[in-house]
Structure 1
Amino acid sequence: MDYEVFDLGDVRLQRGATLRDAKLAYKTYGELNAAKDNAIVYPTWYSGQHYDNEWLIGEGMALDPSRYFVIIPNMLGNGLSSSPSNTPEPHDRARFPQVTMHDNVRLQHRLVTERFGIERLELVTGWSMGAGQTYQWALSYPEMVRRILPFCGSAKTSLHNFVFLEGVKAALTADGQWHHGWYREKPVTGLRAMARVYAGWGFSQQFYREQIFLQEPLGYGSLEDFLVGFWEDMFLKRDANNLLTMLWTWQHADLGNTPGYAGVEDALAGIRATTILMPGEQDLYFPPEDNEWEQARIPGAELRVIPGAWGHFAGGGSNPVDTAFIDDTLKDLLNRKAPF
């Protein structure tokens, strides 16, 4: 096991359920300094686990473990932290409770403060659902988070994004093996169908028009090779109930549901961290327009768009050009003044 587990005990979730004996899996990179002021939180994304984030960590990069103490907390539902696949009865499988972005971040805050005694974070950053958690960190703990860079994500899931996920969910649950979440065998047909639906959204029209999947760094032999080798492979590794738990979290992501705030505009105005918002130029479900709207409502926020054809997966670590763009922006942000 290449990660650690933080035991949280019984946790009352935002929607009212109690998750008993909750656990948060995490991995750290680098060393926490004596002043405990070099910490960065870098949450995971939909279906991803901590090792899927490691492409943005390395010597000479912004998230340099020789300089910073990087914490990657695994989302609830991702198969390592408390999830349908690893939680005992009665909250196993289809009975796993609904968890929100707020729940995830509140438990991550406990990890950061109780396990490590950290009172200040230099940066919170993340891709996709990791971006959603990044916004939540800044709003929930404004006295703690100095800078944020959410990339290819949003503070509130749009209706168009919600509908895209309805298609993903319908494909998965149409499998005859599904049995309303009480499957005895993996619903392979549903997982493969889900992957095919997702494939049309993760990358842009230009990506497919120019057949970038045939080129390096991907280098697949054909479109079918890409659909099977990249997309089906990604989802066949995952548990179906876990995927649906995280999908619910994604669909219901709304910074405006944070206690004490009256909607998403009010919540965005409450962010005090030095902020760069970074959408992908051709992201089909987190388009730049959504981040432009947010930028106008976050005090002092900057918008910096990742150029190119990789769509949502501009933030996925597969394209070295996009990785360099994200890394350079993180370096810029870490060199800027923070509000405290």
Structure 2
Amino acid sequence: MFARRFSATLCALAIASIAYGAAPQQQFAKMGDLQLESKATINDCAIGYRTIGALNADKSNAILFTTWHTGTSRDAIGMLQSGALFDPAPWYVIVVDALGNGVSCSPSNSKTQPGTAFPQFSVRDMVESQHKLLTEKLGINHLHAVMGYSMGGMQTFQWAASYPGFMDVAIPIAGTPRLTSSDMLFLRIVEKSVVDEPAYAGGRYTKNPPLPMYNLLFAMNFDSPAHRSARTAPKDFEKFYRESMASDPDGTDANNSLWQIRAILGHDIAQGGKIEDAAARIKAHVYPINAAQDHLVNPAPSITFARLRKEEATILDTDCGHGALRCAMPAMKAVVEKALR
């Protein structure tokens, strides 16, 4: 879900992917004025995306990959090389930049609705914008698969709920069909850490503010206690603490991060109704992958969802918490490759 630490985890993969071959070109689709489910409108919205591979004649090999919290399509490329999450060679992979990530239309790059004037969007709006991109701009009316990590996994669940027959397979990784109270508690505290930071200035800052409490909250919760205790000796704690608290000068815009966090806070594919009903409407095969010790996204709803559908959730036995990718890539790859067959 959360890019600062997750993108650091992917740094080696991203570097390897660029060495493997030039990163696919950043592309943009001009969507015009994008109406949101709230009836608010994002003016002159552009959706960013990158593609890998070639679409076959019957358009049956298309895969949509969705980005995590503040992650970008460029960040995601490292996950999509042979030997990483899956081998993209047989597929036409569309990696789409989610609303608010600073590449697609966002508080940080809007000319007419900058900063706090930018409308609040939802995870459902992210999916709707991607559906418009595929159908209206790319001429794709069916996908073999949708997948994504963290907030990308939430978008994957929402894709399956919003467009039950649009894909054959949905693979939400470290996602959830709806938030638990523990997920909400964490996110509300993160939200508060941003808005209470004096340098945030109510979102009207002129320089991206340092967010020390925001960074520390992710440092505490991104890994499991066992992982952190094993990897950081007490003698090294002060160094770890200082590095965790420090802000990246080139890091994500604070409003972008906050708008996506608020979108996640509203995530529920059943929209307050019964998850059983939402699960029953989905026609795609759904293969959730979660980590047992994830302290950012509780795996319980994904497990329940799979049981309702008599499908299998993969629960990774690793102490890496939300960053299970760095510890369990071979196990994830095996599940993803099997699901894509």
Summarize the Cα distance change of 1:193–1:70 in structure 2 as closer, same or farther, 3 Å threshold. same
Partner AA of 1:9 in structure 2:
G
Tell me how far apart the structure 2 counterparts of residues 231 and 147 of structure 1 sit (CA, whole Å).
Answer: 39
Shift of 1:244: 0.5
Tell me how far apart the structure 2 counterparts of residues 152 and 159 of structure 1 sit (CA, whole Å).
Answer: 17
Partner AA of 1:303 in structure 2:
A
Tell me how far apart the structure 2 counterparts of residues 48 and 109 of structure 1 sit (CA, whole Å).
Answer: 19
Which one of 94, 103, 107 corresponds to residue 125 of structure 2?
Answer: 103
Mapped pair 1:7 → 2:30: yes
Which one of 282, 286, 303 corresponds to residue 313 of structure 2?
Answer: 303
Partner AA of 1:282 in structure 2:
Q
Report if the CA contact (8 A) 1:277-1:301 is conserved. Answer: no
Structure 1 moving runs of 4+ over 6 Å: none
Match of 1:204 in 2: 224
Summarize the Cα distance change of 1:77–1:224 in structure 2 as closer, same or farther, 3 Å threshold. farther
Which one of 229, 252, 269 corresponds to residue 238 of structure 1?
Answer: 252
Tell me how far apart the structure 1 counterparts of residues 239 and 62 of structure 2 sit (CA, whole Å).
Answer: 41
Report if the CA contact (8 A) 2:180-2:298 is conserved. Answer: no
Mapped pair 1:194 → 2:194: no
Mapped pair 1:253 → 2:267: yes
Tell me how far apart the structure 1 counterparts of residues 283 and 249 of structure 2 sit (CA, whole Å).
Answer: 37
Mapped pair 1:271 → 2:282: yes
Shift of 1:21: 0.9
Tell me how far apart the structure 1 counterparts of residues 252 and 315 of structure 2 sit (CA, whole Å).
Answer: 31
1:9-28 matched pairs, under 5 angstroms: 9-28=32-51
Match of 2:107 in 1: 84
Summarize the Cα distance change of 1:153–1:9 in structure 2 as closer, same or farther, 3 Å threshold. same
Extract unaligned runs of 5+ from structure 1.
215-220, 336-340
Tell me how far apart the structure 2 counterparts of residues 276 and 24 of structure 1 sit (CA, whole Å).
Answer: 27
Q: TM-score, normalised by structure 2?
A: 0.87
1:164-183 matched pairs, under 5 angstroms: 164-183=186-205
Tell me how far apart the structure 2 counterparts of residues 138 and 78 of structure 1 sit (CA, whole Å).
Answer: 22
- CA deviations on 1:311-332 (whole Å, 9 max, x unpaired) are 01114xxx2x411111110011
Tell me how far apart the structure 2 counterparts of residues 64 and 292 of structure 1 sit (CA, whole Å).
Answer: 26
- CA deviations on 1:113-158 (whole Å, 9 max, x unpaired) are 2222122211111111101110111122222210011111101122
Please state whether the residue corresponding to 1:78 is helix, strand or coil: coil
Report if the CA contact (8 A) 1:38-1:68 is conserved. Answer: yes
Shift of 1:228: 5.0
Match of 1:329 in 2: 335
Which one of 276, 282, 287 corresponds to residue 293 of structure 2?
Answer: 282
Report if the CA contact (8 A) 2:101-2:257 is conserved. Answer: yes
Please state whether the residue corresponding to 1:283 is helix, strand or coil: coil
Please state whether the residue corresponding to 1:122 is helix, strand or coil: strand
Mapped pair 1:39 → 2:68: no
Tell me how far apart the structure 1 counterparts of residues 74 and 243 of structure 2 sit (CA, whole Å).
Answer: 19
Tell me how far apart the structure 2 counterparts of residues 199 and 60 of structure 1 sit (CA, whole Å).
Answer: 28
Root mean square deviation of aligned Cα: 2.1
Summarize the Cα distance change of 1:143–1:101 in structure 2 as closer, same or farther, 3 Å threshold. same
Report if the CA contact (8 A) 1:274-1:300 is conserved. Answer: no
Tell me how far apart the structure 2 counterparts of residues 174 and 230 of structure 1 sit (CA, whole Å).
Answer: 19
Please state whether the residue corresponding to 2:315 is helix, strand or coil: coil
Shift of 1:61: 5.6
Tell me how far apart the structure 1 counterparts of residues 249 and 267 of structure 2 sit (CA, whole Å).
Answer: 22
Summarize the Cα distance change of 1:333–1:97 in structure 2 as closer, same or farther, 3 Å threshold. same
Shift of 1:168: 1.2
Report if the CA contact (8 A) 2:84-2:329 is conserved. Answer: no
Report if the CA contact (8 A) 1:195-1:235 is conserved. Answer: no
Report if the CA contact (8 A) 2:176-2:299 is conserved. Answer: no
Tell me how far apart the structure 2 counterparts of residues 28 and 158 of structure 1 sit (CA, whole Å).
Answer: 34
Mapped pair 1:50 → 2:63: no
Q: TM-score, normalised by structure 1?
A: 0.87
Which one of 38, 47, 69 corresponds to residue 92 of structure 2?
Answer: 69
Query: Could you tell me the percent identity over the aligned residues?
Result: 29
Summarize the Cα distance change of 1:22–1:236 in structure 2 as closer, same or farther, 3 Å threshold. same
Report if the CA contact (8 A) 2:85-2:332 is conserved. Answer: no
56-65 or 155-164, larger mean C-alpha shift: 56-65
